[in-house]
Chains A and B, each alone.
Chain A
Amino acid sequence: AQKITQTQPGMFVQEKEAVTLDCTYDTSDPSYGLFWYKQPSSGEMIFLIYQGSYDQQNATEGRYSLNFQKARKSANLVISASQLGDSAMYFCAMREHSGNTGKLIFGQGTTLQVKP
């Protein structure tokens, strides 16, 4: 069965440093997509970055990059040069492309706190 695991309930990082948030997944579908969302204390879910299972290169969006290791089934989010506004909960999610419904499966989330 498909599953997403985030093993870090909480993380701290010093402002301006880089931080890696871990995500592992399990699926038997060869075609899938991996997403990261940010949820600030206000509650809205903000889409950050996407990686397709057949993409050859790791996805990047500004200060966000996704370290995609297919053989290890991991899709870690790297935030470079952390800012105070990065303090939030972060969710990893996966969509299997079979079925074509756009359903996402979410991990438990990681709370990131950026220290000044």
Chain B
Amino acid sequence: DVKVTQSSRYLVKRTGEKVFLECVQDMDHENMFWYRQDPGLGLRLIYFSYDVKMKEKGDIPEGYSVSREKKERFSLILESASTNQTSMYLCASSTRVYEQYFGPGTRLTVT
């Protein structure tokens, strides 16, 4: 079975903190994605990576950065967390042609 894991299910951080969200997949997928999910807005793409050390901005990259040093791991970084980054964060991976497989999500609260 394809497995995508995320480092935390729930996370509470303070405004201004640096936050790392980790995602690991075990299927040797080329592509990895970070989304945030907010009520009424669906899933919005923050960043994606199509190869190690390669990354591209999605629709809402402001306030975020990413790192992909190894094929199986894709990290999302909030350099200075703000309250408007309180959200559900979903990681996904895929090959180039098939469906995306999602992790369980991290519900981040910034206070």
Contact = CB atoms under 8 A, between A and B. Distances in A.
Contacts of A47: 99-101
Decide if the interface of chain A is mainly helix, strand, loop or mixed: loop
Interface string B62-92: 0000000000000000000000000010101
Query: Nearest 4 pairs between A and B by C-beta?
Result: A45-B102, A106-B43, A102-B31, A43-B105
A64 interface: no
Interface in A22-53: 35, 37, 42-45, 47, 50
Contacts of A11: none
B97 A102 contact: yes
Interface residues of B, number: 29
Given A101-B31, A108-B42, A50 B99 contact: yes
Interface centre among A45, A91, A100, A103 (most CB of B within 10 A): A45
Given A45-B102, A102-B94, A109 B31 contact: no
A24 to B, nearest CB: 14
Interface of B: 30-31, 33, 35, 40-45, 48, 50, 56, 58, 88, 90, 92, 94-97, 99-105, 107
B97 A101 contact: no
B96 A102 contact: yes
A76 to B, nearest CB: 17
Given A101-B50, A102-B94, A102-B95, A91 B42 contact: yes
Nearest to B41: A108
Contacts of A103: 33, 45, 48, 58
Contacts of B42: 4, 6, 91, 106-109
Interface in A3-26: 4, 6, 9
Most buried by B among A91, A100, A103: A103
A34 B43 CA distance: 15
Interface string A68-102: 00000000000000000000000101000000111
Nearest to B102: A45
A45 B41 CA distance: 16
B99 to A, nearest CB: 5
Contacts of B43: 91, 93, 106
